[in-house]
Amino acid sequence: MYPPIPVTVLTGFLGAGKTTLLRHMLQAEHGLKLAVIENEFSETPIDGQLLGDQPVELLTLANGCVCCSIHVELEKALFLLLDKLDAGELAFDRLVIECTGLADPAPVAQTFFADEELAQRYVLDGIVTLVDAVNAERHLQEAIAQAQVGFADRILLSKTDLVSAEQVEALGQRLQRINRRAPQRVVEHGRIDLAELLDIRGFNLNADVAVTPTLRPLAPLGKSPDRIRTLVLQSDRPLDLDRLSAFMEGLLERHGNALLRYKGVLSVAGDERRLVFQGVLRLYGFDWDTPWAEDEARESVLVFIGDDLPEDEIRAGFADVQD
């Protein structure tokens, strides 16, 4: 059995600096062999040789990294890389997928859950979104740019040296309202510690959602200009498992396509273990985690990042599942 290959999805609106960051990842002294799938609609290709007439073209760099330019569906490129890896024609430790600036990350993420073989051979490690601090206000008027932020496990701010500290702070607050799960970091001309981009484990089923710095209180804003926002539900009362299941099933049935990312760590009545779950749109998983410690406050936390979710309806439904 092969160990699964970690996958990082790199997204961000046009001109945010994805290609510059990708060059840094490929050239850094990290000792890793990265494979990169780059869509041909990228603003600037990594190397002119990558683009040709073939549906899938491969170029091996001097440091052992592999670039793959695709003119076909993502699945074909993923299987091609596996075939060459298994045949000993290529060697790589990790995969980075650079999305086009106008791409929705949802289909890319779903690829690694929908196909059984791909789910066994690859593991989606995290979605990293770059945000151009200079043009963010204009970009975030577009629903797809908001969705890219909403899907993120890490948000990287580029071009912060070209705007004021006050603008960076205001942008950080806005991005946090859209996505309170994702830590924000500054990337300078494509340079950032690769530890921020690798081993994120953003899609692991674990109990790390409850106490993250991104859940700190936000200053009141009034009516949000953004359709995509974060909704955080918390309760120190145990939850009834049957009513919780019905609540989640109803939520997914009515609003599944609007739930970009969601994660929960729950205290269930009559069980000493944490129940953890997370999902992307209508695809989700759940499992029992470690028991609550005797001196630990048993608090349920659910974080939803969604597109124009009915907040009052969801809060009322969550209140009904509490014992």
Q: Is 6 helix (H, G, I), strand (E, B) or coil?
A: strand
Q: How many CA atoms lie within 13 A of 51 on its CB side?
A: 10
Nearest Cα to 10, choosing from 288, 246, 174, 196?
Answer: 196
Q: What percent of the chain has pLDDT over 90?
A: 51
- The pLDDT of residue 49 is 43
In sequence order, the 6+-apart residues with CB closer than 8 A to the CB of 16 are: 101, 130, 131, 132, 139, 158
What mean pLDDT is predicted for residues 156-167? 95
Q: Which helix (H) or strand (E) element contains residue 125? A: strand 122-132
Taking the C-alpha atoms of residue 253 and residue 258, their distance in angstroms, rounded to an integer, is 10
Q: Where in the chain is the domain with CATH 3.40.50.300?
A: 5-196
Residues of the chain with CATH 3.30.1220.10: 213-319
Query: Binning pLDDT at 50, 70 and 90, where does residue 33 land?
Result: confident
Q: Where are the beta strands (DSSP E) in 199-309?
A: 228-235, 259-267, 273-280, 283-291, 300-307
The pLDDT of residue 90 is above 90: no
Please give the residue that has the higher pLDDT: either 284 or 59: 284
Paired with 273 in beta bridges are 291
Beta strands 66-70; 34-39: pairing state: parallel
Find, among 10, 17, 181, the residue nearest to 109 by Cα: 10
pLDDT value at residue 24: 84
Averaged pLDDT for residues 186-197? 88
* CA 185/CA 156 separation, integer angstroms: 5
- What mean pLDDT comes out for the span 128-136? 95
CA dist 152 and 261 (Å) reads: 9
How far does the chain reach from its first CA to its final CA, in angstroms?
A: 44
The model's confidence at residue 224, banded by pLDDT at 50, 70 and 90, is: low
CATH H superfamily, domain 213-319: CobW-like, C-terminal domain (3.30.1220.10)
- Residue 316 has what pLDDT? 94
| pTM (two decimals) | 0.86
* 154 to 128, 129, 142, 252: CA distances (angstroms): 5, 6, 20, 25
pLDDT for res 47 = 45
Sign of the alpha-carbon torsion through 266, 267, 269, 272: positive
**How far is Cα 100 from Cα 22, in angstroms, rounded to an integer?**
13
Tell me: pLDDT of 240 over 70. Answer: yes
pLDDT, position 312: 93
CATH of domain 5-196: 3.40.50.300
Mean pLDDT for the chain? 85
